[in-house]
Amino acid sequence: MTTGASSPGPDAQPADDSGGGSPDPQRAFAAMGEPTRYRILEVLAQSASTVGGVAEAIGALQPQTTKHLQALEAAGLIRVHKLGRRRVASLDRSAFAALAAHLGGWAGPDPDADALHAYEQAIAREVGDPGRSRIVSLRAVVAAPAEAVWRAWTDPRIAGRWWAPPHFEVRELSLAAEEGSPIRFALGEPGGAVYRSAGRVLEVDHGRRLVFALAPVDEAGEALFDAVHTVELTGTDAETVVALRIEATGIREGAAEAVAGLEPGWTQLLGALTAYFDAG
């Protein structure tokens, strides 16, 4: 019961209900994690209450209740109003608004999570139908002329800035826009793992078309499958349409994860290429 909060004495002054601002989230969540304190917050969420009223509502002794209220007050979650000889506890609503805003920042869209989900689904499909040749076709519109986009594909100094999915970094990229030239590529991620790929340039039509073979390799340097990438650029002086076609064949046993990563991985890379030019 919480009715004790509704009968202040004749000389009692209204409590300031402006709130105490933003609490420390970690401390606040730790305080809320204790079951009795969480129950107290549920009681006070309905209405303010005296200490005795809170104790009665949760079925606890008043001294124990007082200690829990002190912990919640120290965490910035409640306010204890001193009304003469009475003590009335209430939620600090502004504190919970701040915590809600803090958690709301975690609840927004997450492109990385979407990409991971797509990758997970792609692996499941690949495991269910292993070894079959795959063709991936992707398209992106880049706010730059074709010559600039061509350089972004063929100059390793520029390609190294966008040719990595989020949370990875390019450790090695050797590429020249010359038919027959080798390609060496390595991605690293936190924790020290390095993923290597190798291939060669097959066809060059400067500024318009680039065809290259590139596939992940195992520890012995053997390709897990064959993958021919065809990049075609068309457009105007203001923007370029990038059409990417990947044909994967000769897929070895155990290559499901690598093959499954082609579409979500290159989708992220084309997004990074677009963002690179959007950023100037």
pLDDT at 7 over 60: no
d(C-alpha 48, C-alpha 89), whole Å: 6
pLDDT at 12 over 60: no
Residue 276: partners with Cβ closer than 8 Å, 6 or more residues away? 152, 161, 162
Task: State residue 170's pLDDT score.
Answer: 96
The model's confidence at residue 118, banded by pLDDT at 50, 70 and 90, is confident
Say if 3-104 and 111-278 have the same CATH topology. no
pLDDT tens readout for residues 138-176: 999 999 999 999 999 999 999 999 999 888 999 999 999
The model's confidence at residue 21, banded by pLDDT at 50, 70 and 90, is low
Residue range 24-49: mean pLDDT, rounded: 97
Residue range 260-271: mean pLDDT, rounded: 93
Q: What is the DSSP letter of 280?
A: -
Q: Which of 78, 100, 97, 96 is nearest to 15 (CA)?
A: 78
DSSP assignments along 132-182, one per residue? --EEEEEEEEESS-HHHHHHHHH-HHHHHHHSS-TT-EEEEEE--SSTT-E
Q: Which residues pair with 210 in a beta bridge?
A: 204, 231
With tokens 């105007």, the residue in question is 236
Residue 185 CA to its chain's centroid (Å): 25
Q: Which helix (H) or strand (E) holds 215?
A: strand 209-216
Task: State residue 20's pLDDT score.
Answer: 54
Task: State residue 112's pLDDT score.
Answer: 78
Q: Where are the domains of the chain?
A: 3-104, 111-278
d(C-alpha 210, C-alpha 1), whole Å: 76
The CATH number, out of the four listed (2.60.40.10, 1.10.10.10, 2.40.50.140, 3.40.50.300), of the domain defined by the range 3-104: 1.10.10.10
d(C-alpha 26, C-alpha 167), whole Å: 26
Task: State residue 109's pLDDT score.
Answer: 83
Which of 84-98, 112-126, 176-190, 202-216 has the least mean pLDDT?
112-126
pLDDT at 5 over 50: no
> What are the structure tokens assigned to 9, written together?
């004495």
Task: State residue 111's pLDDT score.
Answer: 76
pLDDT tens readout for residues 207-262: 999 999 999 999 999 999 999 999 999 999 999 999 999 999 999 988 999 999 99
pLDDT tens readout for residues 49-101: 999 999 999 999 999 999 999 999 999 999 999 999 899 999 999 999 999 99
d(C-alpha 13, C-alpha 264), whole Å: 63
> What are the structure tokens assigned to 96, written together?
């919970």
Q: How long is the chain?
A: 280
pLDDT at 1 over 50: no
pLDDT at 124 over 80: yes
pLDDT at 127 over 90: no
SS3 at position 129: coil
The CATH number, out of the four listed (3.30.530.20, 1.10.3720.10, 3.75.10.10, 1.10.10.10), of the domain defined by the range 111-278: 3.30.530.20
Task: State residue 17's pLDDT score.
Answer: 42
Taking each helix axis as running N to C, give the angle between helix 25-32 and helix 93-104, from 0 to 180 degrees, rounded to the nearest 10: 110
What burial class does residue 213 get, using C-beta atoms within 10 Å of its C-beta: 0-12 exposed, 13-18 middle, 19+ buried? middle
| Neighbour order of strands in the sheet with 226-235 | 134-142, 240-249, 226-235, 209-216, 194-205, 182-188, 169-174
Task: State residue 113's pLDDT score.
Answer: 84
How would you classify the pairing of strands 226-235 and 194-205?
unpaired
